[in-house]
Amino acid sequence: MAPVSTVSRVQGLINSSKIFVAAKTYCPYCQATLKTLFDDKKVNKDIATVLQLNELDDGAEIQDALLEISGQRTVPNIYINGKHIGGNSDLQELNSSGELDKLLAAL
């Protein structure tokens, strides 16, 4: 279980960010997510919070907090406008169906 302070901090980041992604630098699915959002969809990085958990001292705690918040511990863990999207396969499914464009247009 993650400390309450970590859960609160992560929930605050999710709520205050148009896009929130918890990732790891070596994860190919995380790289695919970031490519889709920032290269393909041209999302402005200024409206996004991307945490590379393997580069943070409390990365494991943050991952535990995300499990408590969303029920998902794996990365990437993606939120758009505070709504839990899921992982890369969920994002790519939204992209293929055109729903991702609608979500991003609402930002």
CB-CB contact of 10 with 65 (8 Å): yes
Residue 101 CB: number of other CB atoms within 10 A? 12
pTM for the predicted model, two decimal places: 0.96
Q: Which domains does the chain have, with CATH numbers?
A: 4-105 (3.40.30.10)
pLDDT mean for each 10 residues of the chain (107 residues): 93 98 99 99 98 98 98 98 98 98 96
